Amino acid sequence: MFKLMCVTNRKLCTDNFYDRIEELCRNDVDVILREKDLSEKEYEMMTEKILKVCPDVIAHTYTRAAENLKIKKIHLPLDSMNKDIKKIFNLAGVSVHSAEEAVKAEQMGADYITAGHVFETDCKKGFAPRGTVFLESVVHAVNIPVYGIGGISPDNIGEIKKTGAAGACIMSGFMRCESVDKYLTKLNTIL
């Protein structure tokens, strides 16, 4: 089954951020809280509120905040991943930018990988997208789920699925859509 994940950016959210997270949760979209412009303390305070509307989120980067809040899922940059992470968290995802990095993440105990950026995106303005051939190479390099990330929309999500990826991570689409229900319906008609 092709899975959709939301990587958050509250600054892009056109709705109340907490309401949007609750709507994503209600629709079984995994939520990676990637509010990395916050200090760890600010992140912890925000996440504590989010847990009231969505108790099953994936924390991003801030391991201490996640531990304090008893969150058992974490997503990390590759340079923050190590074998000890799995002693603390039940699920660990890692961001990678090459097949070699994906292999390294898997060897360190990653449960899943996000690989990107696949398509052109405002988040990586000025950086060339890596494309679907790149994503397919990551998928074939590891034995754990790989999720495409970067510039994914209803216009190109079918290309992500064709690579054999386990799913896709979407930021802008989920943060800016009129309604998560309507946006998911649009995505699912393509998938």
Q: In the chain, what are the helix, strand and coil shares in percent, each to the nearest 5?
A: 45, 20, 40
Amino acid at the residue 30: D
Query: How big is the chain, counted in residues?
Result: 191
Check the CA dihedral 51-55-58-63 and report its sign.
Answer: positive
- Among the listed residues 60, 75, 117, 140, the single catalytic one is 117
Contact at 8 Å (CB) between 175 and 153? no
Q: How far apart are the first and last CA of the chain?
A: 10
Integer Cα distance of 89 and 73 in angstroms: 6
Give catalytic status of residue 117 as yes or no.
Answer: yes
Our measurement of the distance from residue 42's CA atom to the centroid of its chain's CA atoms, rounded to an integer in Å, reads 20
Check the CA dihedral 103-108-113-118 and report its sign.
Answer: negative
Integer Cα distance of 10 and 64 in angstroms: 21
Positions marked active-site: 117
